[in-house]
Chain A
Amino acid sequence: GAVVSQHPSRVICKSGTSVKIECRSLDFQATTMFWYRQFPKQSLMLMATSNEGSKATYEQGVEKDKFLINHASLTLSTLTVTSAHPEDSSFYICSAPRSGELFFGEGSRLTVL
């Protein structure tokens, strides 16, 4: 069964609104989680590392004020896309390491109209 759960799997929103995506580790604690973005036929691009109890670490070029990350507990990290624009439409995937292996969520398809 899945070890990382991501919700929602698909979301459509209007331009200018904010969207929250949740990532949960199931049956294990994850002090670190990773958020990726994937465009069609492109690789997974790491956006940020979510750290429980502290600020997220963002990759170069990723706007931290636009992509808010909150790692509120040892099993939950959230990504909020603020003031979404059509160019933010993408596939967002979270992952969490467990016993040296990286487990991925099912991904969230965001479409901004």
Chain B
Amino acid sequence: NAGVTQTPKFRVLKTGQSMTLLCAQDMNHEYMYWYRQDPGMGLRLIHYSVGEGTTAKGEVPDGYNVSRLKKQNFLLGLESAAPSQTSVYFCASNRGYTEAFFGQGTRLTVV
């Protein structure tokens, strides 16, 4: 089982560029989440999805968009990257109210 897979693992962007982070899970989980992790702060929820075709805003959604066209995939988009979006991004999935499974993280630097 691959579990939760994130691509890419590392990326450097210039300010204003766009990119998409892909999260794929093979556990048939309904719930998927995108978090960002910054030094000295706990993981913060960006967006989440409770099922295919649904998305919802989390704590820090500004500057990000998401899509869940297929149950196994959850995409996080940055339309116009800013240095404040330099962070480590984690995807997670679960069945809701259960143990969460996390990806390995994507380290994004915006210069």
Whether both chains belong to one complex is answered with no
* B contact residues vs A (CB 8 Å cutoff): none
